[in-house]
A and B are shown apart, each in its own frame.
Chain A
Amino acid sequence: ETGVTQTPRHLVMGMTNKKSLKCEQHLGHNAMYWYKQSAKKPLELMFVYNFKEQTENNSVPSRFSPECPNSSHLFLHLHTLQPEDSALYLCASSQVSPSGLNFGSGTRLTVV
């Protein structure tokens, strides 16, 4: 167990669907992240939240909408996605200064 739990593990959705990814961390960290990992590409940082405040939006399309209600929970709301959005979406958490990120197991998303 990494202390970061993501659900669901797998998700198949149509381009007109709306779905949400959930992440919960049990480590007492105060920063949370969404990363995207596509085949043969490096991990791409999407969003960073520090003490519930969004501090980074890495030019992510508006069809991805993050939500951080508290320091332990992070959501990624998805709507009208494209097939090229199919990827592994990883949530991570860390302390204030990066002593390294703890990743969840990820959600493998397929857009059909």
Chain B
Amino acid sequence: RKEVEQDPGPFNVPEGATVAFNCTYSNSASQSFFWYRQDCRKEPKLLMSVYSSGNEDGRFTAQLNRASQYISLLIRDSKLSDSATYLCAVNMVDSSYKLIFGSGTRLLVRP
């Protein structure tokens, strides 16, 4: 089983739609979780951290489900500019400095 797994997509949605991605992780002791956004041929950029209680930033909501070992990202009212690949990242518990990334989920928002 991969350490961090994501559905590669693509998710093809119309503008204004709500879309959700999940990311599963294998190590139940993992402590830190993040969502990154990566545009084509660009570097990943931190979108948001994922806190145990869940957190929201505008149209984006991140949640953590420890029992089922997954994190989720919900995007409401999708914009064309949300089209990108969304990467989840999980720290490995043997080192706070080792972030393992999923392969990413591609989102395409169409007019």
Contacts and interface: CB of A to CB of B under 8 A. Distances in A.
Nearest to A102: B46
Q: Contact size class for A? A: 20 to 34
Contacts of B99: 45, 98, 101
Interface in B2-47: 4, 32, 34, 42-46
B102 A103 contact: no
Contacts of A97: 32, 96
Interface residues of B, number: 22
Contacts of B44: 43, 90, 101, 103
Contact of B97 (A35, A43, A50, A103): A50
B108 interface: no
A42 interface: yes
Given A42-B4, A42-B103, A102-B46, A96 B98 contact: no
A106 interface: yes
Interface of B: 4, 32, 34, 42-46, 49, 87, 89, 91, 95-104
Interface of A: 2, 31, 33, 35, 40-43, 45, 48, 50, 55-56, 90, 94, 96-106
